[in-house]
Amino acid sequence: MSQIIDLPDYKEQSPEVASYFKDLKNRSKVLEVNRAGRVFASPKGEIEALKDVSLDVYQREFMTVIGQSGCGKSTLIRILAGLETTTSGNVLLDGEQITGPGSDRGMVFQGYTLFPWLTVKKNVMFGLQVSGKAMAECEKDALQWIDLVGLKKFANAYPHELSGGMKQRVAIARALANRPRILLMDEPFGALDAQTRAQMQAYLLEIWHHIDVTILFITHDLEEAVYLSDRILVLGANPGHVQEIIEVPVERPRRPEQFITAEFLATKKRLENLIHVSAPEHIDTSKMLGMG
Amino acid sequence: MKLTQHLMMGLAALVFAGSASAAKLKVAYSDWPGWVAWEIGIKKGWFKEAGVDIEFVWMDYVASMDAYGAGKLDGVCMTNGDALVTGDAGKPSVGIIINDYSNGNDMLIATKDIPNVKALKGKKIGLEEGFVPHLITLKALEVNGMSESDIEIINTPTDKTPQVLKSGAVSAICAWQPNSGAALKEVPGSKAIFTSADAPGLIYDVLFVGPKTLKRDRADWVKVAKVWYKIVAYLKDEDNIEEALEILAGRVKVKADEYEPFLDGTYILSPAEVKEVWKKNDGLKSIYGSTKISNEFNVKYGVYKKSLQIENYLDPSITMDALK
Amino acid sequence: MGSHQPPQPWFRVGTLLSEKRSGVLMICSFLLPILIYSFVAYCPIFWGHAYELTIAARPDDKVEFGATYTQGFSMEEDEFTRFQKAIRDDNEKLTALYQQGDEADFGMSPRAARSHNKRLLREFEPVLSRNGLFDISVKEEMETKPYYQLLYGAAYDTWGEIATGKEQLQKGSLSEENREIIKKNWALLSSVSETYDSGKLYSKPIYKLIPQGNKQVARASWFPAPHQIIRRGWEDLTGKSELGDLNVPTRYLQSLKIVFFGFFVACLIGLPLALLAGTFSFFSRLIEPFTDFFRYMPAPAFSTILVVIFDIYDQPKIALVVLGTLPHLILMVANTTRMVDQPLLDAAQTLGARRGTLISKVIVPGILPHLYNDLRILLGWAWTWLVIAELIGAKSGLTEIIDTQGRRFHFDHVYPVILLIGITGFVTDQILASFRTVLFPYAASEKKGILSFAFAMVHKLFKSKKATS
């Protein structure tokens, strides 16, 4: 007979965790989103993708956004990147309103977005060169970043010669090479197989540990969210809105063994409930146009 | 940016260097045997010898008249009738050198089952409307007491008439050599039922030049006329026949022996004969008379509406100066 | 190895054939049309019979026989019989005239008679060269006049030898009837001179030789046999035929110049416009609707205008190729530009790239492999305009051969030129296609062309040789 254990309340925090969060919230705010909304025009009328989304991301925080497909996760992150605009509210980076895409916000996409005609090294150098740095310096920097993601041997390889996981590591190196204030990651491991995915998660935590960078991470994988994040923003659908921001009560540094701790499971359970409960009876696909 | 500039300049240089002509005078000649004769002067370098900077451009007949009409040529080889048509279309010209008159090379060629012009009643004829073949055909009909309404004209470029006759789409075609020869050869049983030899002097083949260049480059045109009569003298010399045939046949790309009859169908005028032709007279023995008849023909059959002042189209003085 | 593997079927939906089979089929795809053509050309059941003239003649009756038939012309059987009869009649008339004695009117001046006689001597040349008695290739090194003196001399001497029974020509090259005629002629000619002398040529007409011909399959003139096409093509290419000084190689270069310049100019104008239209919606709306409209207007319709603007030489021809290619180039390349991966553009923007950098560092390199393919297709397009373009103004290039020889029904000259154009376009395209894999190793490769197939075969052969040694 299997035994069902009682899970603690996910809001209960150990003293270490509590002081961690206290410290976190004392840091400066890298990103502030104030009542951001986004309405898409379509032939069938207006579709509200996001409504009154507000959130703060602190210096060197690892925040995850989770939600069912179509809830506007990608719209939100594209707004943060400057690739999309808000129709109401505003977004501040270090207190200044953003007006478009910029190298201060690096981004890693779900699909592979390495430039196929450039080698790994040239890909990583891309942003540095655009910023006008001297060639030699770009190259030196790039090699350091490539080394950091463990691809020194592949510096002169072309993207089509790399595996999916390697490609995403290059993408991370490329984004970080610009020394962005925040790294936006849109389901970056979504296309990878389970094993590679676990490896990549470990890599990411490792990099985050070494580099002073704030991360906003989108996923639909609940375990991934709990495992990686300080806080998890649960986005409800139709229109996309903030359901809850959960402070993950799992201690850092994280290890794969923590997947079966009570706090971990309690948080995961809470996420399941939130996402399951808010699942609609039926999905009106027409309303999901433009979100995603 | 610099690279693009260089590329552009290089391109422009290449395009223009490769094709533009530097010659002072530019004249088009086409495959009519009387005009192909210019080739002898060209091949033998007589124009350079005479000190005239002239380029002869080899073209299709109608294309050459178009190019003259477009103002791209100083002179063009035309028949006296077609010069009127071109002139009426807005590009007048003055005939200065009479090469020959057509003496059989313009032919109305019918298929096996058409024995004579009268049998053409109600049939289709392939010819180039508004030009020499049209005139010949109308003349043939007139001689036989018929008119244009008795036949149906299918407008066909002269160089395509052999194919058209062969296809069986028409009962007859009208064309000049070497096109008429090709038609006779390719359509077994076909024969000429009317030729320019039946109306000698109806068609004079002439070098026409623009009125402006005639005034400006008069001395040059006299030199050109002198070269022409050198060519005539050469052609009239029996001993030159083989070489002449080689040169002429080489230009129109037929075998030398095939070319020989073309010379019979084109009566090249000697200096003495041409002086007679230049005299103002009625009748086909004078170019004035012939051109007058063409003019009346063209008006009568609606090629153009208003009768033209034919004196403006002819100037004997160049030839006379050259033959002094 | 797979010895007990069942053989793969040749026909299976959605399955690619093995490389070897693909190769075999590729060769068949070329062989099949050639075989069909050859079968029709050589199979007598499709054609009647005709006589290919070995000795030509010119009847006096210019109405019934208006054309000039020369050696090599193929004449239908009844036409040939009629032709022979006409010449026999002419000879009979001549006999009658000679019987009238000195008062006879031959209808031609002594001068005309001499040139008539010279022509008959000239027309004997094919018989001489077939029997090795005269070498026409000396023509290339000689002036025209001495060459003909030599030819007349050879014909004159040979007639003399035939008349006196000394010369034995190859069997079949001269009929008994013609031997008799030559004997009669020799009697006339030798009455003035035993050797050829242009000043002492008999000045009344001599008898004509009766036309002779080899009976053979009478193909239509537009259906020359493959061996004729190949032979003529080779002669034209090496400048050995009557096409003369402007030979095929020179004209080929002229044509290449038109096509490639036209294409180059179209690219120079079209690529920047297309790139702008593909990148910015503003330019797309501004440029593309009119371009789309313009491409339906037939480019050749502008040829007269092009002559007015660009003169009669190469420029209007190049301009026509440009007109014909440009609209397609703009629309096609603009479309390709739009197809650049949006995520790549997003990524570049988050890396700090702005308009200029986006175009030069992402859009251009991003579309390059597709652009390369587009340009290959458009170069093929440029080739299709060549013939129409070269007819504008002063005809030039290969087209003049196609047009001039075509109107004389010399299709054995025409087909090699058409093939040359086809082969050039095809080979250029294949070479460019095989370069693509070298230039853009990251781009998906397409189906193998015949050239890359050939490369692969050679490579394989080389490898297997290495392995065995």
pLDDT classification of B10: cutoffs 50, 70, 90? low
Do B171 and B67 belong together in one domain?
Answer: no
Does domain A23-52+67-99+186-292 match CATH 3.40.50.300? yes
Last residue of a domain, one of B146, B177, B198: B198
Q: How far is B282 from chain C (nearest CA, A)?
A: 30
Task: Please give the Cα distance from B245 to B255 (Å, whole number).
Answer: 9
Q: Flag if C361 and A126 touch (Cβ within 8 Å).
A: yes
Could you tell me if B123 and B246 lie in one domain? no
Give yes or no for C116 touching B (CB within 8 A). Answer: no
| pLDDT above 70 for A280 | no
What does the pLDDT look like over A58-73, one tens digit per residue? 999 999 999 888 888 8
Among the partner residues C56, C145, C394, nearest to B59 by beta-carbon distance: C394
- 3-state secondary structure (DSSP) of residue C102: helix
Residue B128's domain is classified under what CATH number?
3.40.190.10
| pLDDT tens-digit map of A84-143 | 999 999 999 999 999 889 889 999 998 889 999 999 999 999 999 988 889 999 999 999
Residue B240 sits in the same domain as residue B156: no
Q: What is the pLDDT of residues B208-251, one digit of tens each?
A: 999 999 999 999 999 999 999 999 999 988 888 888 998 998 88
What confidence score (pLDDT) does residue C322 get?
Answer: 94
- Burial class, A11, CB count within 10 angstroms (exposed 0-12 / middle 13-18 / buried 19+): exposed
pLDDT tens column, B249-275: 888 888 888 888 888 888 999 999 999
Cβ(B252)–Cβ(B178) under 8 Å?
yes
**Nearest residue in A to C349, CA atom:** A101
Q: What is the mean pLDDT of residues B59-77?
A: 90
Q: What is the pLDDT of residues A218-259, one digit of tens each?
A: 998 899 999 999 999 999 888 889 999 999 998 888 888 888
Does A109 lie at the interface with C, CB-CB under 8 angstroms? Answer: yes
Same domain? B274 vs B257 = yes
Are B213 and B318 members of one domain?
A: yes
Interface with chain C: mutation pick from A117, A120, A172, highest number of C CBs within 10 Å: A117
For residue B10, is it within any domain?
Answer: no
Same domain, B168 and B65: no
Q: Is the backbone peptide bond immediately before A43 cis, with ω within 30 degrees of 0?
A: no
Same domain, B84 and B231: yes
Q: What is the pLDDT of residue A4?
A: 72
Q: Which of residues 326-385 of C touch B (CB under 8 A)?
A: none
Calculate the alpha carbon distances from C13 to A163, C9, C23 in Å.
Answer: 32, 10, 19
Which of these three, B174, B198, B222, is where a domain ends? B198
* CB-based contact C312 B58, cutoff 8 Å: no
Cβ–Cβ gap A160/C442 under 8 Å: yes
- B176 forms beta bridges with B106
Judge: A127–C351 Cβ closer than 8 Å, yes or no.
yes
Q: Does C438 contact chain B (CB < 8 Å)?
A: no
Domain ranges, ordered by start, for chain C: 48-218, 248-468
| Minimal Cβ distance to C349: which of A83, A131, A158 | A83
Mean of pLDDT over chain A: 88
Q: Distance between CA C58 and CA C120 in Å, rounded?
A: 9
Please, which chains are in contact with A (at least 3 CB pairs closer than 8 A)? C
Examine residue B2 and state whether it is found in any structural domain, yes or no.
no
Q: Are residues B206 and B307 in the same domain?
A: yes
pLDDT band, residue B17 (cuts 50/70/90): very low
**C10-33 confidence digits (pLDDT tens):** 888 877 888 888 888 889 999 999
Residue type, A103: S
Q: What is the pLDDT of residues A136-172, one digit of tens each?
A: 999 999 999 999 888 999 999 999 999 989 999 999 9
Sorting pLDDT into bands at 50, 70 and 90, what band is A291?
very low
Is residue B98 within 8 Å of residue B206, measured between CB atoms? Answer: yes
ipTM (interface predicted TM):
0.86
Q: Are residues B268 and B230 in the same domain?
A: yes
Binary contact (C346, A115; C-beta < 8 A): no
Give the per-residue pLDDT at A259: 87
As a whole number of angstroms, the distance between CA C331 and CA C140 comes to 53
- What pLDDT is stored for residue C246 in this prediction? 63
- Across the interface, do C351 and A174 touch by the CB < 8 Å criterion? yes
Quote the pLDDT of residue C257.
Answer: 93
Query: β-strand A182-186 against A214-219: which pairing, if any?
Result: parallel
CA C328 to chain centre: 29
Q: Do residues B155 and B206 both lie within one domain?
A: no
* Identity of residue B184: L
Say yes or no: B43 and B151 in one domain. Answer: no
Domain parsing of chain A, residue ranges: 23-52+67-99+186-292, 105-179
Range of the domain at B215: 22-102+202-322
How many structural domains are present in chain B? 2
**B227 and B91 share one domain:** yes
Residues of chain C with pLDDT under 70: 1-4, 240-246, 444-457, 463-469
Superfamily of domain C248-468: MetI-like (1.10.3720.10)
- Please identify, among B164, B198, B232, the residue that sits at the C-terminal boundary of a domain: B198
B239 assigned to some structural domain? yes
Pairing of strands B25-29, B75-79: parallel
Q: How many CB atoms lie within 10 A of CB C137?
A: 8
Omega before A239 cis (within 30°)? Answer: yes
Nearest to C132 by CA among C182, C97, C168: C168
> Residue A45: which residues within 8 A CB-CB, separation 6 or more?
none
C350 and A106: CB-CB below 8 Å?
Answer: yes
Residue B242 sits at the chain C interface (C-beta within 8 Å): yes
DSSP characters for C383-424? HHHHHHHHTSSS--HHHHHHHHHHHTT-HHHHHHHHHHHHHH
Bridge partners for C460 per DSSP: none
